[in-house]
Amino acid sequence: MQVVALHEGVVVARSVKWQTTCTVLHDGDETFVVDSLVYQDELDALPGILAQAGWSLSGLLCTHGDFDHLLGRLAFPDAPLGVSETTAARLRAEPGDAQRHLRSFDEDDYVQRPRPLSLGQVQALPVPGRLELGGASELELVPADGHTQDGMAIWAPFAGVLCCGDYLSPVEIPWIQEQGSRDAYLATLERLRPYVEQATWVVPGHGTPLDPQRALAILREDVAYLEGLPDEANLPLARRDRRQREIHRENVQRGAPRGPGGDGP
Ligand SMILES: [Zn+2]
């Protein structure tokens, strides 16, 4: 795990697994933890990172419902968990799905956990919307779907930090999952663009935090890739290893582009 401070109130930890990122946002007397780390020792280190800074947790936030972003409760079992309304609907529609994915991941890697993942009651946040942070600041919640059918990006103006979820990754090409949609993905990239342009840092769901120039370059590559699907998409130079070619094949197999929201239930 790697931990970096981007601002006096922003710390980003990055998992060894998939470079999944977990961002701590602090202002005034409030602290939110966005997304999660993956391995248990990484999760176990989180309360210490907050304690060292003298910050107490107000709640967990999650950019979308894929299991590797949802593991914050394994570090903070009693914390409230806030997600977008679309993610809350997905979690309701797929009860136990995140837990099943985690169990099968843990079995493959012989990972042991002190307790099973319990999502309990999740709080559905209106998106677009705002969330107060420590009295003087606000977080802006921005719809971000297309990778999956659900999700939000989180803009923290007090620090100029954008937590964008599974978009703008330097290590993963745009991945259109089963319920995702190419058109919705492209619309999300355009929605994120003005935030990226004014950001100091962009924190993707996978990979190292990016300065805005690099994030905009990735945005351009990703738009070109998505517009080329299914037949004429070229993988970005820095993202064409074996795993990325597999994801690309999956994107192509999804066939003709689908409208916003995909064709799922
Ligand atoms: Zn992810």
What pTM was estimated for this model as a whole?
0.94
Tell me how far the alpha carbon of residue 176 lies from the centroid of ligand 1, in angstroms: 11
Task: Tell whether the model's pLDDT for residue 151 goes beyond 80.
Answer: yes
- Measured in degrees and rounded to the nearest 5, phi and psi for residue 209 equal -55, 145
Tell me how far the alpha carbon of residue 206 lies from the centroid of ligand 1, in angstroms: 6
User: What are the residues whose beta carbons fall under 8 Å from the beta carbon of 139, sequence distance 6 or more?
Assistant: 25, 32, 61, 130, 131, 133, 154, 155, 156
* Token pair 């599974």: residue: 166
Task: Tell whether the model's pLDDT for residue 262 goes beyond 70.
Answer: no
- Using a CB cutoff of 5 Å, list residues around ligand 1, an ion: 66, 166, 205
Task: Tell whether the model's pLDDT for residue 242 goes beyond 50.
Answer: yes
Tell me how far the alpha carbon of residue 136 lies from the centroid of ligand 1, in angstroms: 31
* Token pair 């780390």: residue: 37
Secondary structure class of 165 (helix, strand, coil): strand
Tell me how far the alpha carbon of residue 105 lies from the centroid of ligand 1, in angstroms: 14
Peptide bond into 80 cis (omega under 30): no
Amino acid at 85: E
Residue 13 half-sphere exposure, CB side, CA atoms within 13 Å? 25
Tell me how far the alpha carbon of residue 66 lies from the centroid of ligand 1, in angstroms: 6
pLDDT tens-place string over residues 99-120: 999 999 999 999 999 999 999 8
User: What are the residues whose beta carbons fall under 8 Å from the beta carbon of 242, sequence distance 6 or more?
Assistant: none
Residue 253 half-sphere exposure, CB side, CA atoms within 13 Å? 9
**What percentage of the chain reaches a pLDDT higher than 90?**
91
